[in-house]
Each structure stands twice: as structure tokens, then as C-alpha cells.
């Protein structure tokens, strides 16, 4: 018996397709930025002096394009948060802002699905957000567009919006982020040693709202792409 054997088959690494490539992007872990757009921070009841912050989702919360997004258990207030996602090809600790773009493989469109009722209950009790944020299938994502293919050069700066059954729900500009993409990578690397395979959801503009079973969700980030799923 080799000591390299495991007591059961290790879980598969979650994979996200890459535009124009046969090879897929293996996901190591998922960091998310909270309250990174001023108007969303205000709608969540945040103080304008509060800086953005991070929370996490497990890597296997990712739903690649075409994957099922079931309505989750234990909630009656499932919210959409449309977000630009950064996909890392390298990492490290204490990455300087002016080196941060060098660590980025590409960009994707993601939705940070949120059990808002559970998140709000946790906030009220000073409890962790995991049940509200880090549940199964909570991170639908588009294919990743390599950074070199971002029109105008990375990082993306344009419109970010989401429609539900064809109606626009959130409509913002990536350029309005409080921490921009290089600052997010630099800040995250002060707290964690980043590595290839890390995804960072960069926060959502205002207009978050509830989804119902059967809703068709389409998300867009200008220059990056789009994603589409139906809430099962």
C-alpha cells in the first residue's frame, strides 16, 4: 500500500471554461468583496466611511455555464448580486498594487447568490455569513476571458448589469468600484497568500433584489461576456 492513497476518492477540482481554449481553469478558492460600490453599500445600510471587506465561498459553489442553479434550501429571499470576477494565474502575499494585474489570468461575469434572509439574521446576531453566502451552487459564473482579450486592455471598466426575465435589475459601471481591481488583489494578498486558481468576486452595484423559481437570469459585464441561468 502506498501512503499516497486516500481513504476515498478526492473530490474533483471545480473547473470553469476559458474562452477560446480547450483547457479549463481549475478553481482553488473563492474570495468575495463586500460593499465595493457606494450605492450598494448605502442600500445595505452601511456607513459611507466603512471600507470594503472580504468573505469567502467554497470552491465547489461555482456553477459553470450551463450548470443547474437550484433554488436553495432554507430561504425565502434569494438575491442576485451581479459581479465582475477576477481569475488568478499566480499569487503571493503582499502583492503591490502596481504588480497586481500581472497575477490575473482573466475575467468573468459572476452572480454572488445570497440567502438575504439568512445573511440579515446573521448580521443581527453578529454571527458569520456562511449560511447566507457560502451555500451550494451560490456562484454561477461565465467562461473566463483571458486578460489579453479584454477590449481596451485589462482591467474591464465598463457597464455591469443584470436582467431577470428580460427586465434590468442592476445597472452600474465597473469604474465605480471603491477598491479597483489592482487594489482588491493587493488588499486580499495582505490577508491571504493568493495562488493560481483563486477567483475574486469584486462586489455588486445597487439594485439587488429577490429571485423566484423559474426566473431567467442574464448577467453582463462590458468587454468580458455574459452568463445566463434559470433558477430551478
Cα 177 from chain centroid? 14
Binding segment for Mn ion (CB under 5 A), chosen from 3-11, 119-127, 147-155, 201-209, is 201-209
Q: Considering the rule CB under 5 A, would residue 222 count as an interface residue with Mn ion?
A: no
Shortest spacing between CB 206 and Mn ion, in angstroms: 12
DSSP state of 192: S
- What is the number of other CB atoms lying within 10 angstroms of the CB of residue 22? 6
Shortest spacing between CB 172 and Mn ion, in angstroms: 12
Question: Binding Mn ion by CB under 5 A: which of 157, 163, 170, 204?
Answer: 204
Closest to Mn ion by CB, 27 or 111: 111
Give the residue nearest to Mn ion (CB).
112
Can you name the residues that pair with 78 across neighbouring β-strands?
A: 115
Calpha distance 68→231 (Å, rounded): 8
What cell numbers appear for 183 in the block?
487594489
Q: Considering the rule CB under 5 A, would residue 138 count as an interface residue with Mn ion?
A: no
Q: Considering the rule CB under 5 A, would residue 81 count as an interface residue with Mn ion?
A: yes
In our burial notation (b when 16+ CB lie closer than 10 A, e otherwise), range 92-131 reads eeebeeeebbebbbbbbbbbbbbbbbbbbebeeeeeebeb
Closest to Mn ion by CB, 57 or 145: 57
Shortest spacing between CB 133 and Mn ion, in angstroms: 8
Q: Which residues bind Mn ion (CB under 5 A)?
A: 81, 112, 204
Amino acid at each position: 500500500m502506498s501512503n499516497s492513497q486516500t481513504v476515498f476518492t478526492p473530490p474533483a477540482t471545480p473547473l470553469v471554461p476559458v474562452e477560446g481554449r480547450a483547457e479549463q481553469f481549475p478553481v482553488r478558492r473563492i474570495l468575495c468583496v463586500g460593499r465595493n460600490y457606494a450605492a450598494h453599500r448605502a442600500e445595505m445600510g452601511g456607513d459611507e466611511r466603512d471600507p470594503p471587506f472580504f468573505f469567502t465561498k467554497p470552491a465547489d459553489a461555482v456553477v459553470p455555464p450551463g450548470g443547474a442553479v437550484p433554488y436553495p434550501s432554507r430561504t425565502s429571499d434569494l438575491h442576485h448580486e451581479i459581479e465582475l470576477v477576477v481569475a488568478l494565474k499566480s499569487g503571493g502575499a503582499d502583492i503591490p498594487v502596481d504588480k497586481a494585474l500581472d497575477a490575473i489570468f482573466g475575467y468573468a461575469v459572476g452572480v454572488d447568490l445570497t440567502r438575504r434572509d439568512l445573511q440579515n439574521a446573521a448580521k443581527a446576531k453578529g454571527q458569520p455569513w456562511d449560511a447566507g453566502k457560502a451555500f451550494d451552487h451560490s456562484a454561477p459564473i461565465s467562461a473566463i476571458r483571458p486578460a489579453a482579450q479584454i477590449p481596451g486592455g485589462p482591467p474591464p471598466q465598463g457597464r455591469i448589469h443584470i436582467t431577470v426575465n428580460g427586465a434590468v435589475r442592476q445597472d452600474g459601471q465597473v469604474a465605480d468600484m471603491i477598491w479597483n481591481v489592482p487594489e482588491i488583489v493587493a488588499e486580499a494578498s495582505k490577508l491571504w497568500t493568493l495562488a493560481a486558481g483563486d477567483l475574486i468576486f469584486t462586489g455588486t452595484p445597487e439594485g439587488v433584489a429577490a429571485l423566484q423559481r423559474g426566473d431567467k437570469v442574464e448577467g453582463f459585464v462590458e468587454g468580458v461576456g455574459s452568463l445566463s441561468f434559470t433558477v430551478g
